[in-house]
Structure 1
């Protein structure tokens, strides 16, 4: 015999209570969907000057994200303090997913070890959304530097201690740490000169203000292609634009590079973070975006917010040790 769906009678009070419970359950069931909706324009903060890797990626992703969420995506360049000015702005924004941060997340990993007066905590105040890409670093020089290969650059640097100025994206930026570590392992000394982002650093070497740069391929390869810089080598496992890998060129630090990611304010509803992660993942897998990133030596890297969080924790520990050993201090 088929059991009755309601094997006992409910009193009027119980029926009312059941109805209220069902209504509450229905309300809760709609909350995740509501939490995923975008109600106004989204700010996509790039904490570096226009023209760098993060800025280029933001302008590739922004229009497609706007189409996906049905709201304008406004890109806001907020350079300063090795990316910390912009990161702090996002860390203090409303936790509703309408303010995003796109940057070289290596800078977030180094910030706690560099700045004793940091006004935000990357681990507590920001929520990872999605990795975006990995871009190899390009080692390049101004044409006035008497070096056409990496080994010639090393020989020149050893013969002329502290004569070469190497540009970076800011004190404590990942390319700054890479340059410090490389100099230590090669037994050379050069002057590390900070700029407000990779684009400004690249332009400084193009103009001859600084002589050397290690910087993301997206922002640097165009200058090599246009013969405004002399490319010597690239990090990673594969040649890019015909340049030898660091390993082939006899250089340490071949696994270094720029890791770009998107974060939002901590406390943002998980459903909103999941929606952003899904939309960004779809965008990065579109053929035109993958092709544009590949053209500039980059490789799309996505993944879950949890995987991104683990990466950030590991990088913070690893690079923190290098910073402490080298005695680097933020300014």
Structure 2
């Protein structure tokens, strides 16, 4: 499943990343950004990817010497936005900031996908945000054990929201239900923000979602947090145990935010963009802002993200096949 980003040596796997994922064209001549730079977020405003993009946009504009705008293109579990970047001009001025886990799952979920991973070139990992398992505040459960009991007593009735069919939080909900031997109803929405709001309102009853988008509602009591993924509890909700402590499977899942661009883009611009992101992610105020929202800065070089995507496309593909998950 998702593994922590490591700094790989030039191994067979790293070489494979260059085969499976798009690379930049070293024949390109552009050396500087010449006009507005777009960051496409393939989800609706308010979710984790959107939040991270807006944290980075202004300092990126200052570093690149051009205006950086965030453009939301939601739909099809992020594939509409990803497709638009895959088919954009190969000029290094269009980027995709997304949960790269969804990019890794797309090939296994969508046999008729309108783009290939090879159409996108990795730029940088940005951050990891653990998942929060949260429920509507009026649902009569206060722990994971009670949620499981409730689901067993109401087979097929508990509505679990997700950011779209094929999104990682959808796959996680299906996979966990199968491993626990329970049955609940997964309900897709147009992005993590809409899914979270559905649980707050009671339209759906539970959600697995990135902490960045979900924590505010748990902290202010609009939802009840039951468990968090990752290695440790989150400081702002210290009473909420980890998945492992709650005996939930898939303990290492989460929202991995990364940046890719159109394959064939000028290497000088891709490298400048990566360098700017790397510098911004070292700033204490950025680290603190991401930490306050339950995230952890990761960063890294393009080839490291390429290796991560290659590895996770294989591991998630197996999870999808084993769980029998199919995009509707």
Distance in 2 between the 1:32 and 1:224 partners? 50
Cα drift, residue 157 of structure 1: 0.9
Structure number having the greater helix percentage = 1
Distance in 2 between the 1:154 and 1:260 partners? 29
Pair 1:100 & 2:90 matched: no
Q: Which runs of 4+ in 1 moved over 6 A?
A: 31-34
Question: What is the match of residue 21 of structure 2?
Answer: none
Question: What is the match of residue 7 of structure 2?
Answer: none
Pair 1:258 & 2:252 matched: no
Question: What is the match of residue 166 of structure 1?
Answer: 160
Cα drift, residue 198 of structure 1: 0.6
Unaligned runs of 5+ in 2: 1-25
Pair 1:44 & 2:39 matched: yes
Paired residues for 1:1-331 under 5 Å:
35-122=30-117, 124-240=118-234, 241-242=237-238, 243-331=240-328
Contact 2:158–2:185 (CA under 8 A) maintained in structure 1: yes
Distance in 1 between the 2:31 and 2:163 partners? 35
Contact 2:29–2:266 (CA under 8 A) maintained in structure 1: no
Q: SS of the counterpart of 1:272?
A: helix
Distance in 1 between the 2:213 and 2:67 partners? 25
Cα drift, residue 327 of structure 1: 2.1
Unaligned runs of 5+ in 1: 1-30
Contact 1:218–1:297 (CA under 8 A) maintained in structure 2: yes
Q: What's the TM-score once normalised by structure 2's chain length?
A: 0.89
Distance in 1 between the 2:30 and 2:242 partners? 46
Cα separation, partners in 2 of 1:312 and 1:33, compared to 1, 3 Å: closer
Distance in 1 between the 2:120 and 2:308 partners? 14
- Larger relative contact order (Cα-Cα within 8 Å, sequence gap ≥ 6): 2
Cα drift, residue 32 of structure 1: 9.7
Cα drift, residue 35 of structure 1: 2.7
| 1:110-158 Cα deviation digits (max 9, x unpaired) | 1111112211002x10000000000000000002211011111111111
- What is the number of equivalent residue pairs in this alignment? 300
Q: SS of the counterpart of 1:130?
A: strand
